[in-house]
Amino acid sequence: MRYVSTRGQAPVLTFEEAMLTGLARDGGLYVPETVPHMPARDIAALAGLSYEEAAFRIMRPFVGDAFTDAEFAAIIERAYAGFDHPARAPLAQLGPNHFLLELFHGPTLAFKDFAMQLIGQLFQASLERSGKRITIVGATSGDTGSAAIEAFRGLDNVDVFILFPEGRVSDVQRRQMTTPSEDNVHALALKGDFDDCQARVKDMFNDFAFRDRVGLSAVNSINWARVLAQVVYYFTSAVSLGAPHRPVRFTVPTGNFGDIFAGHIAQRMGLPIEKLVIATNQNDILHRALTGGAYETHGVTPSISPSMDIQVSSNFERALFEAYGRDGAAVAQQMDALKSQGGFTISQGALQGLRETYASGRASEDETRATIRALHATTGEVLCPHSAVGVKVAQDQPDSAAPMITLATAHAAKFPDAVEEATGLRPPLPARMADLFARSERMTGVENDLAALETLIEERRRA
C-alpha cells in the first residue's frame, strides 16, 4: 500500500513513512493510492467479533508490510486495553431509528483516544525498531492535545509539544494536558485561537531545516494513521445495526473533518453508508461551503463546543482531492487561494460529488443547550455539547429507513459547565480521574511567533 499527497508534488510513501511524517513536504496530506475493497461477506463476518479483531481485519490492508500480523494484532490489543468499556465503542438507542455511538470510553474521555492510543503504540513499535528519535508538535482545540500527551507520555524516543489556545479550552481539557509530570511532554499555552496554533504547526513543517533538525512529526488529524483508526467504529456500529444488508447514516460533529472523512473511507471500502452528515456549531464554514459552494473563513466565534471552533478544516483537503478527481494541482491552487484570499469557490462538479456523499447542518448555542436538556429528560443520556450538536443536526435530517448513528465525541464530564447550565446537573468525572483537580499543573505561555516557538522546542527537546 502506497500513499500519495493531495497536492501531487511530494514523494510517494509507505504506511510507516506517511505515519511518521504527518504532513507531506508539498504542504498536502497523505491518502492511500487506492482504497482497498472489503467484500460484503467480509463485512458481514465482522458481526460478533471483538472491537480489536474487527479493527485488525479493517485496517490490515492499509498497513502493508510495516508490521507482521502478530505485531499489528498486539499493537491493537495494547492500544485499546485502557478503555473502560468492553465494547470500546458501544451504541445506545436514542429513538426509534436513532442511535448514539459512544466514543468517550478511552483514557481522556474523547474519541481522539481511538486514534491516538493506536498511534502511540504504532510509533513506539516503529521507533524501537529503527532507534530513531522524533519530536511531535501538535495544535489542539483541547481534545487532541490531551489524547496525544496521554498516548506519548514517558516514551523514550519521543518528545511532545502541544500548542493550545490560551483560555479557550475547558479546565478538564487543560488539566489533562498540564498535569502529566513526564519530562518528554510540554503543554504550550499560545496567545491566539486554534487556527493560529494550527497555522504555526504548519509553518514549522514548511521550515524544512527545522523539520529535519528535530525530526518533526505530526499527530494532528492530518496524520493518515489517525484517520485509519477512526474507520473501524463506522464498521462495527453499522454491522451491529444490520450492515452490509441494511444501509445506515451517520451524523458527525465536525471540526477538522478527520472523523467524518474516516466515514468516507469506510464507505469507499464498501460499507453501505447512505449519507454522512456534517454537524457544525456556529462556526459553520463547512455547512456554508456545502450548501453555497464558497469556502470562506469568517473568523472563529468561541462556543460551548470548543473542539469544533475551527475555520480552517484541514482534512477537508482530503475530501476536495477526491471531489476533484484526485487532481493535486487543482487542490494546491485552492489551498493557495485560501491562504492568500481567505477562501475559494468549489467547482460545480466537485460540489455535486461532495453532496452525493455528505449532507450538513448547524446547531446554534441555544439549540445545543436545548438538545442536551431534552435528551437528558427523555432518555437519561447526558450529552457533551459536541455530541448535542450532532444529535440536533441528525434530528433535522429528512426521514429515511436507514438508521441514523450520531457520533458522541466526548464525555459530558469534559465540559461540565455547559452541561450543568443545560440540565442543572454537574456530570462527575469517572472515578479513575476523580483527583484531576488536585494534581499540580505545568505549562508554558508562548507568543504567536514562529521563531520563538522553534527556539523553545529546540531548547526543551531531549537530544
Ligand X SMILES: *Cc1c(COP(=O)(O)O)cnc(C)c1O
Binding site for ligand X (CB under 6 A): 110, 112, 143, 221, 253-259, 307-308, 386, 409-410
Cell numbers standing for residue 180: 502529566
Smallest separation, CB 394 to ligand X (Å):
14
- Please report the beta strands in 29-132, taking only residues with DSSP state E, as ranges in sequence order: 30-32, 91-95, 98-102
Q: Computed over its alpha carbons, how large is the radius of gyration of the chain? A: 20
Nearer to ligand X among residue 16 and residue 259 (C-beta) = 259
Smallest separation, CB 419 to ligand X (Å):
13
- Overall residue count recorded for the chain in this entry: 463
Burial class of 322 by CB neighbour count within 10 A (0 to 12, 13 to 18, 19+): buried
Instruction: Choose the catalytic residue: 112, 202, 275, 392.
Output: 112
Kindly state the helix (H) or strand (E) to which residue 411 belongs, with its residue range.
none
Cell numbers standing for residue 285: 464554514
Smallest separation, CB 287 to ligand X (Å):
13
Nearer to ligand X among residue 217 and residue 221 (C-beta) = 221
Phi, psi of 135 (to 5 degrees): -120, 115
Nearer to ligand X among residue 178 and residue 221 (C-beta) = 221
Q: Fill in the amino acid letter for 38.
A: M
Smallest separation, CB 258 to ligand X (Å):
3
Instruction: Indicate the Cα dihedral angle 277, 282, 283, 289, nearest 10°.
Output: 50
Closest by CA to 458, choosing from 213, 220, 219, 217, is 213
CB 27 within 8 A of CB 206: yes
Nearer to ligand X among residue 257 and residue 344 (C-beta) = 257
Smallest separation, CB 182 to ligand X (Å):
22
Nearer to ligand X among residue 28 and residue 385 (C-beta) = 385
CB 20 within 8 A of CB 223: no
3-state secondary structure of 180: coil
Residue 112 appears among annotated catalytic residues: yes
Q: So which residues are the catalytic ones?
A: 112
